[in-house]
């Protein structure tokens, strides 16, 4: 537990020293410094406007441009091209250190709250799922901050500058529906595999090791691609804004900030840090929105200040072919539409195959998870929609104002539209806002990814393949004693292991260990649970190491991306081709009883191979073929074809093969299939205990940890949550993909009033979402802590109560379950949470 932290500290100091040294070196080298900044080649201030084609003087509809536009263009004094790296290295390091220290303090505060208020045990599951009791507000916050990649901030503004108003919409809508639909998977996971910590455990339980290995590869690939996209975007922005910063340095600094606080707090801390991240992201976005649309300080560099002025400038700027009538103010954009499709497909991959989202689902209570995902999705929608509508259109308007595009095509592809606008309109403040935004995004997504990788390594690689606790454990056998949980005729010996919560030797162990202050604790002596508890402790130790290694792995990864010159857009499009073939099979593994092992493998591998083949074949038809790899494979059409082939072949093969394998299934077989996933459990903190109050199980019933309510009862209990998830998923998907887009197509092209309505909607959504995400989680958490604290005071003031509450005073699991009661009480409005309905008897 301690050693990785010390090593971490040493490495941090070493990196810091090398950072300062290299910064000094590049500064002293002066002119001989290598061209470290990606934007340096285009960072020029030209005094010769004649070098660029003259700007149009009429709008697409043939009207003359407004006077304001023509005047502004005539009176320009200089032409801006490229982002200027003006933040000094020392300032950047100060910002990094400030954010790092702030995050660490919050992580530490969270640790203290859990330890002293909730009496959490420092065990393996707590570090991964924060006790499995996270409230709606915090679940929503975590999802928003995890789903806010650095790419979200950059790529959304990029597509806005390329395709006009449809870009931000496609980005936002095309990535919100997956989050909302994930609510369905979340509730099904809680119904059918409540003890699972990773989605891969479900696949292992149902389909065995071969299928499991294939999907482990897909899961790791997803984490890899997300990390790549994250660091590419992060370093691109850091490099464009910070002078004399090499990409290697940028990657290292990002890795230090992410890893440092992930290690301190586990997933739990990320819940609190996510809150501050999300709040800050929204505040920065609203700051940019206010500057662009209201110009409150009468900034002379800001030619806008109202929606009408932006409209005038954008209207008089010609869009590339593909947009109808060359207008940016239309939904009839071919590029925007293709981007929309690719975005939808690719994001299904990055949500469904990414353990990070399953982790959020595991960490939340069943109902809370469903609402957390729905509200998280709707809140997240505001970030790209509001930010990119503001920044992307400002970029177009500013380019129109000077008559020349502000960035080269290469810089646009890198995602520099947003920093360009922030720097031009807000100067220093804008640069810092951009640095903070990127840092926040990289930190929260990065740590979520690292924890996802660490949990796959621990739960799915180490525990299953490297060093399982019990090597030859057949399905349905108790991991503690090796006997069958449900005795059969061949093996009548039945597991009689008691629950740890009622085990006297374990209680003595806990007391003995609590009495020792040193870091070396006495061994566990309980004959039933002792060895397994030691094993779990070792896992916790390995978890810390795998976090350290995963973080450091991201440094060479980022340098590799830089070296082969991958850009953000390419990576973004390619993601779907690589992983989306696994989307339908993964969803079906928890939704559909007939899926077979062959269907799972065939779908994922077949879809991926077909997707990559079709993508490469189409790309090779461009001039230069595959020799000109990054350019030709990066075209929109091959990417579109690859994405669609991958997801559809993956789904169809999986369904067809599964139907062929499992056409006939008896009700007993079906029930047996879900019993396999319900067997996934940790005997020390069985799910029956964790969700005791949600399931309304009386204490006396579960003497052995294997005793659990029948699945029909749980299905009935979660019926409302399931209907909510399906209803919201279907309705909102229809709204975002069909209804909204078709009504916008009808409004082609937007006039000034339509444009005002459109930007007002984006601003309004931003303000409402910001209010929700800043106020609700804070209130919920404060209420929960206050409630818990009052309860503690009550117990302390009258010790006799403690006898009756003895289990709660001694057992960490019970106090965790107790905190659930607090949360349940505050969400008492939900009918399934009010504790009055009983499950039907077994």
Site residues (vs Zn ion, CB under 5 A): 478, 480-481, 495, 497, 503, 505-506, 526, 528-529
Q: Least Å distance between CB 468 and Zn ion?
A: 16
Residue with tokens 């394998």: 661
Cβ proximity of 591 and 187 under 8 Å? no
| Residue closer to Zn ion, measured from CB, 569 or 680 | 680
Q: Least Å distance between CB 536 and Zn ion?
A: 13
| Residue closer to Zn ion, measured from CB, 232 or 480 | 480
**What CA–CA distances, in Å, run from 574 to 161, 212, 435, 757?**
21, 24, 26, 35
Q: Least Å distance between CB 533 and Zn ion?
A: 8
| Residue closer to Zn ion, measured from CB, 219 or 495 | 495
Instruction: Give which of 146, 175, 170, 147 is closest to 158, Cα–Cα.
Output: 170
Q: Least Å distance between CB 362 and Zn ion?
A: 24
Instruction: Give which of 417, 422, 346, 419 is closest to 158, Cα–Cα.
Output: 417
| Residue closer to Zn ion, measured from CB, 294 or 469 | 469
Paired strand residues for 333: 323
| Residue closer to Zn ion, measured from CB, 521 or 635 | 521
Q: Least Å distance between CB 685 and Zn ion?
A: 13
Q: Least Å distance between CB 196 and Zn ion?
A: 20
Residue 550 structure tokens: 């995963």
**What CA–CA distances, in Å, run from 195 to 150, 546, 803, 821?**
33, 23, 30, 19
Q: Least Å distance between CB 802 and Zn ion?
A: 22
Q: Least Å distance between CB 505 and Zn ion?
A: 5
**What CA–CA distances, in Å, run from 247 to 38, 95, 156, 612, 630?**
9, 17, 23, 30, 20
| Residue closer to Zn ion, measured from CB, 502 or 748 | 502
Instruction: Give which of 136, 49, 598 is closest to 372, Cα–Cα.
Output: 136
Which residue of this chain has its Cβ atom nearest to Zn ion in the complex?
Answer: 478
Residue with tokens 């500057």: 291
| Residue closer to Zn ion, measured from CB, 396 or 528 | 528
Q: Least Å distance between CB 191 and Zn ion?
A: 25
| Residue closer to Zn ion, measured from CB, 449 or 509 | 509
Instruction: Give which of 574, 580, 579, 569 is closest to 639, Cα–Cα.
Output: 574
Q: Least Å distance between CB 482 and Zn ion?
A: 7
Q: Least Å distance between CB 816 and Zn ion?
A: 18
Q: How many CB atoms lie within 10 A of CB 791?
A: 17
| Residue closer to Zn ion, measured from CB, 292 or 478 | 478
Q: How far apart are CA 151 and CA 235, in angstroms?
A: 11
Q: How far apart are CA 759 and CA 389, in angstroms?
A: 7
Please report how many Cα atoms fall inside a 13 Å half-sphere around the Cα of residue 22, on the Cβ side.
18
What letters, b where the CB count within 10 A reaches 16 and e where it falls short, cover 207-237? Answer: beeebbbbbbebbbbbbbbbbbbbbbbbbbb
Instruction: Give which of 131, 401, 427, 384 is closest to 297, Cα–Cα.
Output: 427
| Residue closer to Zn ion, measured from CB, 178 or 811 | 811
| Residue closer to Zn ion, measured from CB, 496 or 794 | 496
| Residue closer to Zn ion, measured from CB, 447 or 811 | 811
Residue 498's φ and ψ, nearest 5 degrees, are -80, 165
Cβ proximity of 506 and 529 under 8 Å? yes
Q: Least Å distance between CB 503 and Zn ion?
A: 3
Non-local (6+) Cβ contacts of 59 within 8 A are 65, 315, 316, 327
Q: How far apart are CA 606 and CA 381, in angstroms?
A: 33
Q: Least Å distance between CB 704 and Zn ion?
A: 8
| Residue closer to Zn ion, measured from CB, 481 or 593 | 481
Cβ proximity of 123 and 536 under 8 Å? yes
Distance from the Cα of residue 842 to its chain's centroid: 39
Distance from the Cα of residue 205 to its chain's centroid: 26
Q: How far apart are CA 241 and CA 89, in angstroms?
A: 10
């Amino acid at each position: 537990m301690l050693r990785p932290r010390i090593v971490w500290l040493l490495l941090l100091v070493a990196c810091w020293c090398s950072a300062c040294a290299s910064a000094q070196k590049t500064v002293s080298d002066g002119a001989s410094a290598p061209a470290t900044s990606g934007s340096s080649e285009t960072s020029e201030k030209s005094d010769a406007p004649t070098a660029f084609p003259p700007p149009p003087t009429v709008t697409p509809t043939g009207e003359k441009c407004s006077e304001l536009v023509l005047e502004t263009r005539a009176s320009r004094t200089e032409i801006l091209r490229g982002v200027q790296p003006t933040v000094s290295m020392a300032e950047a390091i100060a910002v990094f250190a400030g954010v790092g220290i702030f995050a660490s303090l919050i992580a530490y505060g969270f640790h203290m709250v859990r330890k002293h208020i909730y009496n959490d045990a420092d065990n393996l599951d707590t570090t991964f799922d924060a006790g499995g009791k996270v409230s709606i507000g915090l679940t929503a916050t975590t999802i928003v901050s995890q789903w806010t990649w650095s790419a979200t901030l950059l790529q959304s503004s990029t597509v806005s500058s390329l395709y006009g108003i449809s870009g931000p919409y496609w980005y936002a809508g095309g990535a919100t529906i997956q989050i909302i639909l994930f609510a369905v998977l979340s509730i099904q996971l809680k119904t059918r595999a409540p003890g699972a910590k990773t989605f891969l455990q479900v696949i292992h339980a149902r389909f065995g090791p071969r299928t499991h290995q294939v999907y482990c590869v897909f899961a790791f690939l997803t984490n890899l691609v997300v990390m790549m996209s994250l660091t590419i975007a992060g370093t691109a922005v850091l490099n464009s804004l910070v002078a004399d910063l090499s990409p290697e340095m940028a990657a290292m600094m990002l890795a230090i900030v992410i890893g440092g606080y992930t290690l301190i707090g586990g997933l739990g801390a990320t819940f609190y840090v996510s809150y501050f991240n999300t709040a800050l992201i929204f505040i920065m976005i609203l700051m940019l929105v206010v500057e662009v649309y209201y110009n409150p300080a009468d900034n002379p560099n800001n030619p806008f200040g109202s929606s009408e002025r932006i409209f005038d400038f954008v209207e008089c700027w010609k869009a590339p072919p593909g947009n109808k009538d060359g207008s940016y103010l239309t939904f009839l954009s071919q590029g925007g539409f293709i981007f929309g499709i690719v975005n939808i497909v690719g994001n299904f991959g990055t949500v469904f195959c990414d353990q990070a989202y399953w982790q959020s689902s595991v960490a939340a209570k069943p109902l809370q998870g469903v609402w957390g995902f729905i509200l998280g999705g709707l809140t997240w929608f505001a970030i790209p929609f509001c930010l990119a509508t503001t920044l992307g259109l400002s970029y177009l308007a500013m380019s129109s104002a000077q008559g020349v595009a502000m960035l080269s095509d290469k810089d646009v592809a890198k995602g520099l539209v947003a920093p360009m606008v922030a720097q031009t309109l807000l100067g220093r403040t804008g640069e810092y806002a951009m640095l903070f935004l990127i840092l926040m995004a990289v930190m929260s997504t990065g740590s979520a990814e690292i924890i996802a990788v660490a949990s796959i390594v621990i739960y799915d690689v180490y525990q299953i393949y490297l060093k399982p606790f019990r090597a030859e454990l057949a399905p349905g056998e108790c991991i503690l004693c090796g006997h069958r949980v449900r005795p059969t005729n061949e093996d009548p010996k039945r597991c009689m292991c008691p629950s740890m919560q009622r085990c006297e030797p374990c209680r003595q162990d806990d007391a003995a260990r609590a009495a020792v202050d040193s870091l070396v604790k006495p061994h566990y002596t309980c004959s039933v649970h002792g060895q397994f508890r030691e094993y779990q402790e070792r896992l916790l130790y390995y978890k810390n190491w795998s976090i350290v290694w995963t973080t450091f792995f991201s440094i060479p990864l980022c340098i590799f991306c830089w070296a082969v010159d991958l850009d953000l857009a390419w990576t973004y499009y390619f993601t779907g081709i690589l992983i989306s073939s696994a989307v339908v099979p993964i969803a079906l593994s928890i939704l559909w009883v007939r899926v077979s092992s062959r269907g799972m493998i065939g779908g994922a591998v077949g879809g991926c191979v077909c997707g990559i083949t079709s993508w490469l074949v189409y790309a090779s038809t461009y001039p230069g073929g595959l020799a000109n790899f990054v350019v030709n494979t990066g075209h929109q059409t091959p990417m579109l074809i690859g994405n669609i082939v991958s997801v559809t072949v993956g789904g169809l093969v999986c369904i067809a093969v599964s139907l062929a394998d499992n056409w006939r299934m008896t009700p007993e077989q079906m029930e047996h299939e879900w019993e396999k996933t319900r067997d996934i459990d940790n005997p020390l903190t069985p799910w029956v205990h964790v969700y005791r109050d949600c399931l309304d199980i009386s204490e006396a019933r579960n003497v052995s940890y294997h005793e659990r309510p029948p699945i029909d009862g749980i299905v009935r209990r979660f019926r409302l949550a399931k209907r909510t998830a399906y209803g919201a998923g279907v309705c909102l998907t229809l709204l975002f993909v069909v209804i909204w887009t078709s009504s916008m197509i009808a409004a082609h092209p937007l006039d000034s009033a339509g444009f005002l309505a459109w930007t007002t909607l984006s601003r309004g959504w931003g303000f409402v979402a910001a209010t929700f995400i800043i106020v609700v989680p804070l209130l919920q958490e404060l209420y929960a802590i206050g409630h818990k604290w009052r309860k503690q005071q009550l117990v302390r003031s009258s010790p006799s109560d403690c006898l009756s509450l003895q289990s709660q005073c001694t057992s960490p699991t019970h106090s965790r379950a107790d905190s659930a009661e607090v949360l349940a009480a505050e969400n008492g409005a939900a009918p399934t949470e009010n504790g009055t309905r009983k499950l039907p008897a077994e």
